[in-house]
Structure 1
Amino acid sequence: MADVVIVGGGPVGLYLAALLLQDGVAVQILEQRLRREPHSRAIGIHPPALAALDRVAVASAMVDAGVQIRGGIAVSGTKTVGSMSFASVSECFPFVLSLPQVTTETLLERRVHELDGAALVRGTRVTEIADDGGLVTVVAEATNAGGAGTRITSRLLVGADGSRSLMRSLLGIPATSRTYPDHYVMGDFEGTGENLNEAVLYLEAEGIVESFPLPGGRRRWVVRIPRPAAVPDAIELARMVHQRTGFRPDPATNSMLSSFSPRSTVACRSVAGRAVLIGDAAHEISPIGGQGMNLGWLEAAELAPIICDALAGKPVGQRLHAYSARRRKAASLARWQSEVNMMLGRPLAPPFLALRNHAVSAVSGIPAANRLVARRFTMQ
């Protein structure tokens, strides 16, 4: 028996668990992976999310472990066409924090373990859900020999199991999806060149190249490509970066390679009986712009007090309905922002590229507009 079962022990599920455990809620987290994925995926943590993470006493450790990106520049043809500062976006966190997801999850899991050493159960995959209107029963099986099967009855259920959410399917919640004509390859290398603590966007005719600092003097390079492709080798990715930017990462220093084609998926509703979907289970957002994980944390921060009041017997129906509407609106805005980001990075013929660069330069040169774009970019 638990007050709340959270399905999914990723960054969003762990954060919600920490919030609830701090308030004395009995929580069980079911995670099908036996161990964390070692390769960094999501790396950007925005100021509002850092403020939310501070509520569970992990923000300081994350800031210590990460790189503070306090601004960025746009480059085209080796010339800087625009710049942006994050100095005005937040009093406490005037930066975007670059931190590999594996470190983020490690710090959140450590906090959960401090609050309840038995809260997280790994190697467990949920197969059935039964909601009788008063309690929810979850049946789970071991994912392999190292896992554990279980049957748990709880008062509430939260699905935080990612973009391919099994919870969404088991709850019968439909979702709408979009695909895009955008495809990317990326890899992490030792840092090279200047601007080692800035984000750099290379606006080139063949398509955008993005470069972000990582802890340990490393950088992530993201290259837009014309069609879906298998994961390249480090030599090929370094060649593509060099061809468009003039910088050549050292293939021998590569630590991660990946390819992806963004899509977006938004659940038609996030509440079903005594169950709630949050994070990518409720809305998958293109990773271009780094909003998805942050969006999930902000949802959890808003949902946690509603859950506590529901467990205390207070009526929360109207609040839950309003919460669902607000978070759906926030997801729609994040999806729109990611679509704008992808559009700005698409290939352009030289005359149109010059027009885009001129527009970027003009916005960058107007302080009020620059601050507005910086706030939007950092999810303010």
Structure 2
Amino acid sequence: MVDVVIVGGGPVGLYLAALLLQEGVAVRVLDQRVHRESHSRAIGIHPPALAALDRVDVAGTMIGAGVQIRGGIAVSGGKTVGSMSFASVSECFPFVLSLPQFTTEYLLEQRVHELDSAALVRGARVMEIADDGGLVTVHAEATKAGGAGARITSRLVVAADGSRSRMRGLLGIQATSRSYPDHYVMGDYADSGANLYQAVLYLEGEGIVESFPLPGGLRRWVVRIPRPAPFLDAVKLARMVHQRTGIRPDPATNSMLSSFSPRSTVACRSVAGRAVLIGDAAHELSPIGGQGMNLGWLDAAELAPIICASLAGKPVGQRLRAYSTRRRKAALVARWQTEVNMTLGRPLAPPFLALRNAAVSAVSGMPPVNRMVARRFTMQ
């Protein structure tokens, strides 16, 4: 018997666990993975999320481990057509922090372990959930040798089990999805030293190339391609980057390759009885713009005090309904922003490319508009 079961031990589930443990809430986090994934996925942590992470005393450590991206430039045909500074977006965190998700999860897991060494249960996949209106019983099976099966009764359940949420199906929550005509490959290579600590968007006719600094002297390259890539090749990706940008990453230094075709999924509701969806389980977004993980942390930050009030015996039905409405609205706004970002990066014929570059240059040259776009880009 615990107060809250959190299904999913990714960055969002671990963050919520830390928030609740700090308030004396008894928590169990069930994660089907036996080990953290080493594959680097999300890397961008925006200012509002850093403020939220500061509440569990990990923001400072993350900043020390990451790279502060304090601005970005847009380049086309070898010429800078626009620039953006994040200096005005936040007093405390005037930057986007670049930190591989593996490190982010490690630091959050360490914080959870400090608060309760038994809180995280790995190797447990939830198979059934029963809600009798007062308590919720979760049945989990061991995913492999070394995993742990479990039968846990709790007062509340939070599903933070990702975009392919099994919990969403078990709870009978419907979701609407969109697919997009966009496909990307990405890889991490040694940084050449150019544009240090800046994000760079190469707005080329064949499609956008995005470039972000990473800790350890690395840089991530993200290239839009016309169709899904069945095979990944560090040499081929480096060649595409060179053809569009004139910069040639060294294939021998490649440390990560991945491809993705973005989609978005938004749950029709995030509350079902004594269960709540957060993070990608409630709203999967395109990775372009790096908002998904951050949005999940903001879900958790808003949900935690409602959970604590409920456990204290206070009526929270109205607060939960308002929470669900606000978070769904935030997800739809974030989805719109990712769709704008993807549209900006699609291939264009030369006349339209020139018009797009002129528009980017005009926005960059108007300080009030530039600041507004910077705030929007950093989820302010």
CA distance, structure 1, for counterparts of residue 64 and residue 296 of structure 2: 22
1:250 is aligned with what amino acid? D
Q: Where does residue 280 of structure 2 map in the other structure?
A: 280
Q: Where does residue 61 of structure 2 map in the other structure?
A: 61
Q: Where does residue 25 of structure 2 map in the other structure?
A: 25
Q: 1:178 to 1:232 in 2, by over 3 A?
A: same
Secondary structure, counterpart of 2:337 in structure 1:
helix
- Correspondences of 1:1-380 after superposition (within 5 Å): 1-380=1-380
CA distance, structure 1, for counterparts of residue 352 and residue 339 of structure 2: 19
CA distance, structure 2, for counterparts of residue 75 and residue 14 of structure 1: 38
1:31 is aligned with what amino acid? D
TM-score for both structures, normalised by structure 1? 1.00
Q: Residues 215-262 of structure 1: CA distance to partner in whole angstroms, max 9, x if unpaired?
A: 011000000000111242100000000000000000000000000000
2:67 is aligned with what amino acid? V
Secondary structure, counterpart of 2:13 in structure 1:
helix
Q: How many residues align?
A: 380
Q: 1:104 to 1:364 in 2, by over 3 A?
A: same
1:364 is aligned with what amino acid? S
| Greater mean deviation of Cα atoms: 22-31 or 228-237 | 228-237
Secondary structure, counterpart of 2:248 in structure 1:
coil
Report if the CA contact (8 A) 1:185-1:231 is conserved.
no
1:320 is aligned with what amino acid? L
| Greater mean deviation of Cα atoms: 230-239 or 16-25 | 230-239
Secondary structure, counterpart of 2:75 in structure 1:
strand
Q: Residues 314-341 of structure 1: CA distance to partner in whole angstroms, max 9, x if unpaired?
A: 0000000000000000000000000000
CA distance, structure 2, for counterparts of residue 231 and residue 3 of structure 1: 46
CA distance, structure 2, for counterparts of residue 317 and residue 356 of structure 1: 47
Structure 1 segments, 4+ long, off by >3 Å, are: none
Deviation at 1:194, TM superposition (A): 1.1
CA distance, structure 2, for counterparts of residue 12 and residue 230 of structure 1: 30
Q: Residues 169-208 of structure 1: CA distance to partner in whole angstroms, max 9, x if unpaired?
A: 0000000000000000000000025102100000000000
CA distance, structure 2, for counterparts of residue 88 and residue 149 of structure 1: 49
1:279 is aligned with what amino acid? G
Secondary structure, counterpart of 1:211 in structure 2:
strand
Secondary structure, counterpart of 2:189 in structure 1:
strand
TM-score for both structures, normalised by structure 2? 1.00
2:351 is aligned with what amino acid? P
Root-mean-square deviation (CA, aligned residues, Å) is 0.5
2:64 is aligned with what amino acid? D
CA distance, structure 2, for counterparts of residue 220 and residue 153 of structure 1: 43
CA distance, structure 1, for counterparts of residue 191 and residue 349 of structure 2: 30
Q: Residues 150-175 of structure 1: CA distance to partner in whole angstroms, max 9, x if unpaired?
A: 10000000000000000000000000
Identical columns (%): 84
CA distance, structure 1, for counterparts of residue 230 and residue 163 of structure 2: 21
